[in-house]
Amino acid sequence: MAIDIKSLNHNQLNDLIQKAQARQQELEKEKVTRVREKVQALLKAEGISFEEVFGGGAAVRGKRRATGSVAPKYRNPADPEQTWSGRGKRPRWFNDALKAGKKEKDLAI
């Protein structure tokens, strides 16, 4: 089924492009469905679940991993309530202490 695209006008060409792109999307969905069915059949044949193989399953996809709080590494000698984990932007008190001649190891907990 060869189409002579030189004989098509602008609207016909745009219509053909849209139909071709729609068909590409259909083929991609069909491919994903076939692969999903193969994976499910293989898992069933082996007697294991998706969660056992991939941990957490499809419900976890797209969600960020929960990060816990990090223990502080540095403490402000002038105010022991102020601490810093060593991650992210340095706090003002940390920079001020370095400018005053202290070293990072002096501020370590």
C-alpha span between 53 and 7 (Å, rounded): 54
pLDDT of residue 41: 94
Radius of gyration of the chain (CA): 30
pTM: 0.44
pLDDT of residue 67: 73
β-pairing, 74-75 with 83-84? antiparallel
CA–centroid distance for 79 within its chain: 38
Number of domains composing the chain: 2
44 lies in which domain range? 8-60
Is there a domain that residue 69 lies in? no
pLDDT of residue 13: 94
pLDDT of residue 40: 92
Which residues of the chain have a pLDDT value below 70? Answer: 1, 56-65
* Whether residue 26 sits in one domain with residue 48: yes
